């Protein structure tokens, strides 16, 4: 408690406002500005989360691969390989994570898996449009085929409308899985897509046969 000295031996309580008469108060407008900025930052944060976790469009693939002969036309000696088909938008940075996850998947299974990359490019564009960091990585995958896909027509025939989408065909050309192999945009790590395909190729029962796809729209 504060005291003011007067006569010897006596004390008087001092007014705190008189001790600090020049204390400044924060103007109300600054409070309002701080609240507005906090709301903007929170909105941007949640918008980024929504963007990264909102799956892209997709549709059901055909039950049989249109990229190879029907199972009845296959020679028994040829019906030994699985095929993983991936739709790739060469300008989509999110697809890098999907390629890394595909590489991780292939390291978990035997060598009886072929890859086919359908590389999107707009209609009537220069062939060099697809060149870039994403496309250059595709040649690093063994037993792979790189196919230019004008306007994404081949991918749409397989129900793929988002970059990074995959469709898995068994050795007889039957569709066994379709979806994505990342948990969100540009996010690597354990996910049900990779786990399901790995189990499927190894003859086990997978937990899922379809998963959401996260990437750029084709």
**CATH at 101:** 3.40.30.10
SS3 content of the chain, % helix, strand, coil (to 5): 30, 20, 45
Number of domains in the chain: 1
Could you tell me if residue 70 is inside a domain?
no
**Cα 113 → chain centroid:** 23
Sorted by sequence, the CB contacts under 8 Å of residue 120 that are 6+ apart come out as 87, 88, 89, 90, 130, 149, 151, 152, 155, 163, 218
For the chain, helix (H) and strand (E) counts, in that order, are 6, 7
Could you tell me if residue 23 is inside a domain?
no
Could you tell me if residue 179 is inside a domain?
yes
Could you tell me if residue 59 is inside a domain?
no
Could you tell me if residue 58 is inside a domain?
no
pLDDT of residue 79: 56
For residue 179, the enclosing domain spans 79-201
pLDDT digits (tens, 9 = 90+) for 30-84: 767 777 777 776 666 665 665 556 888 889 999 999 986 544 444 444 457 999 9
Could you tell me if residue 131 is inside a domain?
yes
CA distance 160 to 154: 9
CB 191 within 8 Å of CB 183: yes
CA distance 127 to 133: 15
pLDDT of residue 33: 72
Could you tell me if residue 168 is inside a domain?
yes
pLDDT of residue 38: 74
Which regions of the chain are under pLDDT 70?
Answer: 1-24, 31, 41-53, 68-79
Place of tokens 């890394």: 100
Could you tell me if residue 144 is inside a domain?
yes
Q: Where are the extended beta strands (E) located within the chain?
A: 3-5, 11-13, 82-88, 113-121, 144-150, 166-169, 175-179
CB 68 within 8 Å of CB 181: no
pLDDT of residue 213: 96
pLDDT of residue 72: 45
Give the global pTM.
0.76
């Amino acid at each position: 408690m504060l005291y003011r000295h007067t006569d010897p031996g006596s004390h008087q309580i001092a007014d705190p406002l008189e001790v600090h008469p020049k204390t400044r108060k924060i103007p109300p407008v600054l409070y309002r500005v701080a609240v507005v900025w906090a709301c903007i930052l929170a909105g941007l944060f949640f918008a980024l989360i929504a963007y990264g976790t909102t799956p892209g469009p997709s549709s059901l693939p055909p039950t049989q691969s249109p990229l190879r002969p029907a199972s009845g036309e296959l020679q028994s000696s040829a019906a030994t390989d699985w095929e993983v088909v991936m739709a790739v938008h060469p300008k989509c940075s999110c697809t890098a994570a999907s390629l890394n996850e595909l590489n991780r998947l292939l390291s978990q299974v035997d060598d009886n898996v072929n890859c086919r990359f359908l590389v999107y490019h707009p209609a009537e564009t220069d062939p060099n449009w697809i060149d870039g960091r994403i496309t250059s990585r595709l040649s690093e995958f063994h037993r792979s085929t790189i196919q230019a896909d004008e306007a994404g027509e081949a991918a749409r025939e397989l129900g793929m409308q988002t970059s990074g989408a995959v469709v898995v065909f068994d050795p007889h050309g039957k569709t066994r899985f379709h979806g994505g192999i990342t948990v969100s945009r540009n996010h690597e790590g354990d996910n049900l897509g990779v786990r399901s395909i790995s189990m499927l190729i190894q003859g086990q029962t997978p937990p899922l046969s379809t998963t959401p796809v996260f990437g750029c729209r084709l």
